[in-house]
A and B are shown apart, each in its own frame.
Chain A
Amino acid sequence: MAPRVGVVLFPGTNCEHDAVQAVERLGGSADLIWHGATTAAGYDALILPGGFAHGDYLRPGAIARFSPVMDTVAAFAHDGGPVVGICNGFQVLTEAGLLPGALQKNRGLRFLCTTATLRVEQDDTALTAGVPVGTELAIPINHFEGNYTCDAATLAQLRDEGRIVLRYVDNPNGSVDDIAGVCNAGRNVVGLMPHPERASDPLLGSEDGVVLLDALLRTAGAAASAA
């Protein structure tokens, strides 16, 4: 059966349909999950898509963390379910404490809307399983607060534990250690600022996001058949 992906919709999210369409194009099935939901039963993976959850008021993700669905996301992640936060979704996961660090305003206060080249650094996370380390991918970025920040101890831990999943080849936003994406200790929760769903069709100028989303669907499928 096709892996079933829940795409979490907060008020102000705006990339949910892109995520649904990308998943469906790759053979998965996808539904939107409203932020008031209190169950994710039946889903094999969750995506927190991009946008401006709760208007990004206070800080990106700061209010979204208190949406009822976040307890569900945390429980799903705790049970090993694959969870991917894209852009604003990454910010939500850091605010919720499901991923370490924080996303600060870009270096130079520049809003960035361009294509970045990423390097895959780990081949065993929910989003990169089976993707060879060193693979370079051209994937769009679109953010003002994408400058990944954490303290020195956290950075050392992320390096030691191989939890820096993706790096920018040419750092666009000032992120520490060129970090574009990180994962949790269980490697099932991954956050990244770039938008793989926007690079999932030739019409979009790049299909490089497909290798990441395919990896997520494979992880989801494996989780489904193990359950």
Chain B
Amino acid sequence: MAASRQFSVQVEVLLRDGIADPQGATIERALPALGLGGVTAVRAGKSFRFDLAASDESDALAQATVVADRLLANPVIEESQVTVRPVTRAR
């Protein structure tokens, strides 16, 4: 078996373009109360972080993508962006 390494994964889930985002719209409407009327295109989403054992970075990305596509995001209305980086151990 290939030596497994630890990877740190971040998955960001946002609603697809064209899907109404009532949370983002509500946040945007609240901002003028802060005196910040210039903020636009607010979108609300979710962020997930987890660690993963994989043989290499492409294996880690493949596994993390399964997690993102099959569980964390509903592809009917959401899209996900997966970022993988090796965990650097303190020596």
Contact = CB atoms under 8 A, between A and B. Distances in A.
Interface of A: 58-59, 62, 94-95, 100-102, 104-109, 147, 149-151, 174
Contact of B22 (A59, A102, A109): A109
Contacts of A95: 74
The 3 closest A-B CB pairs, nearest first, are A102-B76, A109-B22, A102-B77
A102 B23 contact: no
A164 B34 CA distance: 44
Contacts of B76: 94, 100-102, 149-151
B61 interface: no
9 contacts: A62-B71, A95-B74, A104-B20, A106-B22, A107-B20, A109-B22, A109-B26, A147-B20, A174-B20
A150 B71 CA distance: 18
A158 to B, nearest CB: 13
Contacts of B72: 58
Contact of A108 (B19, B22, B74, B77): B22
A95 B72 CA distance: 12
A210 B29 CA distance: 43
Given A104-B20, A109-B23, 17 more contacts: A58-B71, A62-B71, A94-B76, A95-B74, A102-B74, A102-B76, A104-B15, A104-B19, A104-B77, A105-B22, A106-B22, A107-B20, A107-B22, A108-B22, A109-B22, A149-B77, A150-B76
Contacts of A62: 71, 74
Contacts of B74: 59, 62, 95, 102
Interface residues of B, number: 11
A102 B19 CA distance: 11
Contacts of A102: 74, 76-77
Q: Residue among B19, B20, B26, B74 with the most chain A CB within 10 A?
A: B74
Contacts of B22: 105-109
B10 to A, nearest CB: 16
Nearest to B15: A104
A109 B25 CA distance: 10
Given A62-B74, A95-B74, A105 B23 contact: yes
A99 to B, nearest CB: 11
A100 to B, nearest CB: 8
A217 B74 CA distance: 33
